């Protein structure tokens, strides 16, 4: 793999974000982005196309969305998923956020979703997004606000997962960030997006936020859908064992701790998959927060 797909597979992106954007929230997102049917939209750094498809649904078959990503493997998977889900108004292209393969003033809306926090030259990236936006069009960035977390009703599992997440981040920093020049990277990008939008010449700047909550035992969830979701999680956990172990060891977790984590999480998921009636009594919680900054191109 030649990009972010080395650290996060398309399948991982899709399963991990499956319940991130509640359908009740989407009308607010669309309003903040000023997204309407008939528009031309670009999703830069689209990965598996998860967010690209959220944008495309709002167009209701009118207009189109172009997904851009430098990773050929992720683009290929994004195309397959979009085709499988019946989208005909999505196109994917290989390209960088610093050099988007589209003409000046191409799109009504240009968006990046959890991209700026992972690249060094954020100012240049926003300028390039601005270049392909139409006069009067919107450029938007969606970034993590670093609030929330995950809770499992097993304290040892919580402890081990906490260590694993830190170790995984250390491994990515060593491989991903050390090969990039991060000298121009802006820390806490979610707090400084409005300043970056001002510095790059946007007007009508807005900043909104979203707190996504997922409770496994929520009575609104269909039990069979939850069982399928947990089974997909289990299958992915087993499939990615080698990669996760390598990252854990690079990040300072011992082999014994990783093996305990691997088995404990596999057992936890396996019990719920085999006994779905226990889902209603399992208070697993996942919370993530996002900020959505928008600006108009004058």
Q: What Cα–Cα distance (Å) separates residue 57 from each residue in 20, 73, 74, 161?
A: 16, 24, 20, 34
Q: Which pLDDT does position 183 carry in this prediction?
A: 74
Q: Going residue by residue through the chain, which has 298 residues, state the pLDDT in tens, using 9 for 90 and above.
A: 357 777 889 999 999 999 999 989 999 999 999 999 999 999 999 999 999 999 999 999 899 999 999 999 999 999 999 999 999 999 999 999 999 999 999 999 999 999 999 999 999 999 999 999 999 999 999 999 988 899 999 999 999 999 999 999 898 888 777 777 777 788 899 999 999 999 999 999 999 999 999 999 999 999 999 999 999 999 999 999 999 999 999 999 999 999 999 999 999 999 999 999 999 999 999 999 999 999 999 9
Residue 1 has a pLDDT of 37
**Numbers of helices and strands, H then E, in the chain:** 10, 7
Q: Does the CA dihedral 249-254-255-257 come out positive or negative?
A: negative
pLDDT of residue 182: 76
Between CA 98 and CA 183, with CA 185 as vertex, the angle to 5 degrees is: 100
> Please, what are the domains in the chain?
4-296 (3.40.50.150)
Q: Which residues contact 54 (CB under 8 A, 6 or more apart)?
A: 21, 26, 29
β-strand 40-44 against 107-113: which pairing, if any?
parallel
Question: Tokens standing for 47?
Answer: 């990965």
83 neighbors 52 (Cβ within 8 angstroms): no
pTM value is 0.93
């Amino acid at each position: 793999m030649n990009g972010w797909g080395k650290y996060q597979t398309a399948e991982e992106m899709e399963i991990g974000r499956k319940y991130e954007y509640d359908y009740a929230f989407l009308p607010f997102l669309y309003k903040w982005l000023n997204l309407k049917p008939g528009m031309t939209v670009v999703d830069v750094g689209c990965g598996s196309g998860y967010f690209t498809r959220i944008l495309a649904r709002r167009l209701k078959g009118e207009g189109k969305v172009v997904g851009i990503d430098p990773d050929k493997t992720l683009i290929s998977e994004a195309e397959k998923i979009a085709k499988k889900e019946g989208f005909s108004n999505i196109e994917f292209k290989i390209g960088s956020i610093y050099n988007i393969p589209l003409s000046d003033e191409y799109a009504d809306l240009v968006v990046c979703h959890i991209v700026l926090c992972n690249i060094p030259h954020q100012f240049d990236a926003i300028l390039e997004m601005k270049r392909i936006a139409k006069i009067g069009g919107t450029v938007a960035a969606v970034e993590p606000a670093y609030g929330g977390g995950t809770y499992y009703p097993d304290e040892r599992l919580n402890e081990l997962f906490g260590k694993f997440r830190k170790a995984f981040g250390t491994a990515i920093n060593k491989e991903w960030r050390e090969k990039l020049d991060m000298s121009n990277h802006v820390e806490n990008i979610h707090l400084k997006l409005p300043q970056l939008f001002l510095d790059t010449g946007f007007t009508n700047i807005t900043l909104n936020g979203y707190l996504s909550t997922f409770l496994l035992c929520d009575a609104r969830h269909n039990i069979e859908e939850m069982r399928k979701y947990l089974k997909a999680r289990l299958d992915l956990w087993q499939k990615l064992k080698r990669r996760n172990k390598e990252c854990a060891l690079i990040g300072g977790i011992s082999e014994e701790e990783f093996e305990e984590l691997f088995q404990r999480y596999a057992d936890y998921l396996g019990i719920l998959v085999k006994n779905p009636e226990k889902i209603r009594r399992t208070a697993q919680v996942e919370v993530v927060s996002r900020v959505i900054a928008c600006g108009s191109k004058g």
